[in-house]
Amino acid sequence: MRNVVKWIGIAVGSLVVVLLVAVAGLMISSDLRFSRTYAITVEDMPIPTDAASLDVGRRWAEIHCQGCHGPDLGGGPLFEDEALGVVDAPNLTTGRGGIGTRYQDADWIRALRHGVRLDGTSVFIMPSSEFYYLNDADLGSLIAYLKTVPAVDRETRTRTFTPLAKVLYAIGAFENLLYAETIAHDVRPAAPPADVTVEYGEYLAHAHGCASCHGVTFEGHQPAEPGAPFAPNLTPGGELGTWSEADFNAALRSGTTPSGRILNAAMPWQGLGHLTDAELAAIWRYLQSLPAATVETE
């Protein structure tokens, strides 16, 4: 009997040790990924100063940066959970606590196009995988505009993660949010001229992030985060196959589907509704040109 107890003790003890080693291993694997540095050769591109370009840049910032970095781009709390940790969106301006004073043009390009920060590590949560698609003219205009934003004095916190968050991250409980890991740094995507064409629609559908939610093939995609709604199939094989172009415009402008349903806020139509008629027309043409996928939605 005493032997049995002893062996059970040894077995349980070994299990605990194996578990602790596994947890430590997962934490180390997360730490290594967060601290990995990337040597990036930054592309040369003109940063314009004319009013028309600044306007183009302002629109990109309004649609894509203010949601996380705030209406004044001064940053602030973005994610906070006792069990997981803290992530602030940094202050992008030239005010106290802002990165604007330290950032040179090449630093903006490296962060936005490659997802790599001043210290060479990957951004986290910040969707550079979308901004990667911006062509030189659009990215140059965005950077030009960012440099003109009024200074905001606001200190933000550096990100922190609990051991639980690191373990969950390592086992893939979240989608990969370390975007420098996912970007093809040596390849530039196509940069077609701005026109109502399938090609330009493809450019916009990537640069405006439709693909990152609806899936790279636009067949629909379920985010890993618990409770996040399914982003439906946008190919003609999905519900859009029965929509008219006017229905599509209405959905993006007012968030209302042909059946009168209001789209969930997880579909950022309020920002995307600022796209021009010509831009929406190009995206529509592109979506209609895709092979009809008949993936079950929801």
Binding site for ligand HEC (CB under 6 A): 60-61, 64-65, 67-69, 78, 87, 89-90, 92, 99, 111-112, 117-118, 123-127, 131, 142, 146, 159, 205, 208-210, 213-214, 229, 231-232, 234, 238-239, 248, 251, 257, 263-264, 266-268, 272, 283
Instruction: Provide, rounded to whole angstroms, the least separation between the CB of residue 122 and ligand HEC.
Output: 7
Residue placing its CB nearer to ligand HEC in the complex, 27 or 87: 87
Instruction: Provide, rounded to whole angstroms, the least separation between the CB of residue 161 and ligand HEC.
Output: 11
Residue indicated by tokens 């995507």: 189
Instruction: Provide, rounded to whole angstroms, the least separation between the CB of residue 187 and ligand HEC.
Output: 20
Instruction: Provide, rounded to whole angstroms, the least separation between the CB of residue 90 and ligand HEC.
Output: 5
CA distances from 33 to 109, 116, 124, 130, 177 (A): 22, 13, 11, 20, 11
CA distances from 217 to 59, 205, 291 (A): 26, 11, 9
Residue placing its CB nearer to ligand HEC in the complex, 23 or 120: 120
95-98 long-range contacts (CB < 8 A, ≥24 apart) are: 95/151, 95/152, 95/153, 95/154, 96/153, 96/154, 96/155, 97/153, 97/154, 97/155, 97/156, 98/74, 98/151, 98/152, 98/153, 98/154
| Residue in 127, 192, 190, 147 with CA at minimum distance from that of residue 53 | 147
| Residue in 212, 208, 202, 147 with CA at minimum distance from that of residue 179 | 212
Residue placing its CB nearer to ligand HEC in the complex, 23 or 84: 84
Rounded Cα–Cα distance for residues 27 and 272 (Å): 38
Residue placing its CB nearer to ligand HEC in the complex, 23 or 253: 253
Rounded Cα–Cα distance for residues 238 and 218 (Å): 10
Instruction: Provide, rounded to whole angstroms, the least separation between the CB of residue 266 and ligand HEC.
Output: 4
Residue placing its CB nearer to ligand HEC in the complex, 154 or 214: 214
- Are the C-beta atoms of 92 and 98 separated by less than 8 Å? yes
Instruction: Provide, rounded to whole angstroms, the least separation between the CB of residue 72 and ligand HEC.
Output: 13
Residue placing its CB nearer to ligand HEC in the complex, 131 or 200: 131
Instruction: Provide, rounded to whole angstroms, the least separation between the CB of residue 14 and ligand HEC.
Output: 38
Residue placing its CB nearer to ligand HEC in the complex, 27 or 60: 60
| Residue in 148, 94, 141, 90 with CA at minimum distance from that of residue 117 | 90
